[in-house]
Chain A
Amino acid sequence: MSECPSRSTLIAYECGELEDTDARPVERHLRECATCRQLMSEARATDPDGQVLRKVFSETGEALTGDAGRSPAAATTDADPSTTSTPTPTGSSGRSGGGLTGPPAPSDWRVPDYERVQLCGEGSYGAVWAVRDRVGVFRALKLIDMDRLERANITCHELPALETYCRKVSRHVNLITVFHVGQVDQCLYYTMELADDQSRRGPVQEEFPENFRPLTLSTLINVGRMSVDVAMELGVRVLRGLARLHELGMIHRDVKPSNVVFVNGHPKLADIGVLTGEDKSGRVVGTPKYMPPDRVMDKSADTFAVGKVLHEMIFGKDDPSFPDVPDDERWIGAKWNRKRVAALIRRACEAEAKDRYPDAAMMLADAEACAEARDKSLFDEISEPEPPPSNKLPAHVLVELGFAFADRLPWIIGGAIVLYLIYKFL
């Protein structure tokens, strides 16, 4: 019989901390040594974690394992149990574990007509992928595992939000465009415009960059403080998108730098996951850091968030001066009217809803009024709203469909008057 391993080796073995190669001699030894087996039994019996879990699991009448309720995709994410180096069960896919609902949507999904290109980001119940469509255009695709949400008893905000957004919002240069909503197996998915690439500072065209990362306002804020000129140009664009939502009776509820993405250089308000109609506002939803202190989640909460974002752009992330707007040297290169910009941010970030801008349109009007003294806009060339697509059918189609009369009615009436006048004078 081989020499007994040390007590610490036995404990490490019982705790699953030994590699297979180190574990094999211990296994062989235990088959022969009653003393060491006894030590192992004692360690197992007195393990406090084991005692606690036995008690906890004995309270449920449900077996932990079995086919019921198991996600088929989950099995494929579990690492080989023979390895000891995987700290989280989903480690290889790079997911964020944690939370009560566990890892988000599966990574082995397939959506007809879209080819997976790269995982761009994950929340706890959704993942966003860069995909390529049938004609080679890159899009962003968000995937939500509805089955998992349902089993975890979590309501999906995304579907009602999408219904509201897609029905009401036509294209707007400062709002992300949703192209398609669908379902495959138990996953809800929708495709959107793909953000510009961080490193290229431009759109992804023919070749997908190896280390693509979406360009968001958060990226720019992390680089450093912006001049008031740049911050206001961006803020005005965000407000234009937000004003459109408010005008249509919707509240975004999660305005923050990482939800402002750049598409072809246009700042666009994205992530409509918790968007809601005015009638359903009030619930504390969103990102606490950008919520007003009174937690009144109406349109004024959206304008509060824009004010906070403006403050971050100008004074830096988590600047202790917030919500004050210090009149000091940190106003870099101000060509906008600093006093007005300061008043704008102060009012947007008032603690009580009644003192804040009631909606984005009011804030936008004030923001644009701050621009009196500015030079030519840095962004005017690229971010003027796109003209709405012409809805008028060509003349020959109108003639063929019998609309020609209505179209030409003014000319016919005019001609008749002219003929009448000629007749009268002759």
Chain B
Amino acid sequence: MEETRSSLLDRVRDLGDSDGWVEFDQFYRPMLTRYAKARGLDPNDAEEIAQQCMTAIVNQIGRFERHRSFRAWLRGMVDHKVADLFAVRHRVKLADSAALGDVAGRKAADGVWEAEWNESHLNALLTNLRDSFAEHTLKAFELYVICSYAVEDISRLLDMTPNQIYVAKSRVIKHIKQHFGDTLDGLYGVWP
């Protein structure tokens, strides 16, 4: 039996976890490919960039420091690979490749990266929560935390005691922080 693990990032750092790696690959590869396309690469090059990133991640994830932002780390990696490819394509010195990357729309791609990151992770979060909790638990969390309803109103609506509501919302928050804390860093720029 596998032990409970905290997050996908933790699982990928454990180099013996093949399921974690497959999950990671399937989640991040399409995102990286779409981002590379948005940077102006053709589909083949974009897929190549994603492949290079996945290879680099396997090699470097063990050295990734947990206090750093994973989102920024991944963004830096994909930007670096894109810049390298531009350098090769345009036969320019590597030192100038960053500038070429900018010309190719790095700033314009900021929005694409943000949108890709936010949408992918938010969808994953919603799916995970729906699969992990009973509806009344999620409803209590939603009404209390998201909609800011008074606990007495929620109690009446859901036929739960106030303590049950507090327990439910705390469990959901704990779950989100435990499983999504590191890969959701910077989601919408608000994650602490």
Contact with B along A48-76 (1 / 0, CB 8 A): 11111111111110111100011100110
Complex contact B141–A64 (CB within 8 A): yes
Contact stretch, chosen from B36-44, B65-73, B81-89, B142-150: B142-150
Q: Does A86 contact B (CB under 8 A)?
A: yes
User: Does B137 lie at the interface of the complex (its beta carbon under 8 Å from any beta carbon of A)?
Assistant: yes
B107 at the A interface (CB under 8 A): no
Contact residues in A for B18 (Cβ distance below 8 Å):
123, 254, 256, 274, 286-287
Give residues 148-171 of B contacting A (CB, 8 Å): 148, 160-164, 166-171
Return the contact of B169 from the options A16, A18, A57, A285 (Cβ within 8 A): A16
Known: A13-B166, A59-B118. A287 touches B23 (CB 8 A): no
Is B99 among interface residues, defined by CB-CB distance under 8 A?
A: no
**Chain A residues numbered 1-31 whose CB sits less than 8 Å from any CB in chain B:** 13-18, 20, 23-24, 27, 30
Shortest CB distance A212–B (Å): 12
Residues of B within 8 A of A69 (CB): 127, 130
A98 with B10: in contact, given A23-B163, A125-B23, A286-B18 (CB under 8 Å)?
yes
The interface residues of chain A lying within 8 Å CB-to-CB of B179 are 97-99
Residues of the A chain whose Cβ atoms lie less than 8 Å from the Cβ of B129? 64
A100–B23 CB distance below 8 A: yes
Interface hits, B166-185 → A, CB 8 Å: 166-171, 173-179, 183-184
Structural contact, A83 and B132, CB atoms closer than 8 A? no
Does B92 count as interface, using CB distance less than 8 angstroms?
no
Known: A52-B192, A69-B127, A74-B130. A15 touches B170 (CB 8 A): yes
Chain B interface, number of residues (Cβ within 8 angstroms): 81
The yes or no answer to B112 lying at the interface (CB within 8 A) is no
- Interface check A90, CB cutoff 8 A: yes
Bound complex: CA of A20 vs CA of B127, how far in Å? Answer: 30
A15-B170, A27-B162, A98-B4 are known contacts. Are A64 and B22 too (CB-CB below 8 A)? no
Is B171 a contact partner of A295 (Cβ separation < 8 A)? no
Q: How far is the CB of B158 from chain A (nearest CB, A)?
A: 10
Say whether A121 contacts B21, CB under 8 Å.
no
A64: contacting residue among B12, B58, B130, B184, CB under 8 A = B130
Contacting residues of chain A (264-297) with chain B, CB-CB under 8 angstroms: 273-274, 282-289, 291, 293, 295
- Nearest-neighbor residue (CB-CB) of A148 within chain B: B131
Contact code string B2-13 (vs A, CB < 8 Å = 1, else 0): 111111101110
Which residues of the partner chain A approach B59 to less than 8 Å between Cβ atoms?
293, 295
Contact B174 A100 (CB under 8 A): no
Let me know if A46 is at the binding interface, CB within 8 A: no
CB distance from A6 to the nearest CB of B (A): 17
Contacts A97-B179, A123-B19, A124-B19: A16 and B166 contacting too (C-beta < 8 A)?
Answer: yes
B132 near A97 with CB under 8 A, answer yes
- Complex contacts, B109 vs chain A, CB 8 Å: none
**In the assembly, what is the distance between CA of A123 and CA of B16, in Å?**
12
B134 within 8 A of A: yes
Residue B135 lies at the interface, judged by CB distance under 8 Å to chain A: yes
Which residues from chain A contact B132 at a C-beta distance below 8 Å? Answer: 74, 77-78, 89-90, 97, 102-103
In the complex, what residue of chain B is closest to A24 when comparing beta carbons? B163
Which partner residue on chain B sits nearest A94 by CB separation?
B1
Chain A residues with CB below 8 A from B45, complex form: none
Chain B residues positioned under 8 Å from A77 (CB to CB): 132
CB proximity of A128 to chain B, nearest CB, Å: 11
How far, in whole Å, are A121 and B19 apart by their CA atoms in the complex? Answer: 12
> Quick one: which of B2, B3, B12 has the most chain A CB within 10 A?
B2
Assess whether A122 is interfacial by the CB under 8 Å rule.
yes
28 A/B residue pairs, CB under 8 Å, sorted by A: A16-B171, A23-B161, A48-B192, A49-B173, A49-B177, A50-B145, A51-B190, A52-B190, A56-B190, A65-B142, A78-B132, A81-B140, A81-B167, A82-B167, A83-B167, A87-B174, A88-B4, A90-B132, A100-B121, A121-B2, A123-B18, A124-B23, A125-B22, A148-B131, A284-B55, A285-B22, A287-B17, A295-B59
Sorted from nearest, which 6 A-B pairs have the closest CB atoms? A16-B170, A78-B134, A23-B163, A16-B167, A123-B19, A289-B15
Interface of A toward B, CB cutoff 8 Å: 13-18, 20, 23-24, 27, 30, 48-60, 62-65, 69-71, 74-75, 77-78, 81-84, 86-90, 94, 96-103, 119, 121-126, 148, 151-155, 157, 254, 256, 273-274, 282-289, 291, 293, 295
A-B contacts besides A15-B166, A124-B11, 19 pairs, CB < 8 Å: A23-B161, A49-B177, A56-B122, A56-B125, A59-B118, A65-B139, A75-B134, A81-B160, A94-B1, A96-B5, A97-B175, A152-B128, A153-B27, A157-B22, A283-B54, A284-B21, A285-B21, A291-B58, A295-B55
Give B contacts to A, CB under 8 Å: 1-8, 10-12, 15-23, 25-27, 30, 51, 54-55, 58-59, 61, 118, 121-142, 145-146, 148, 160-164, 166-171, 173-179, 183-184, 187-188, 190-192
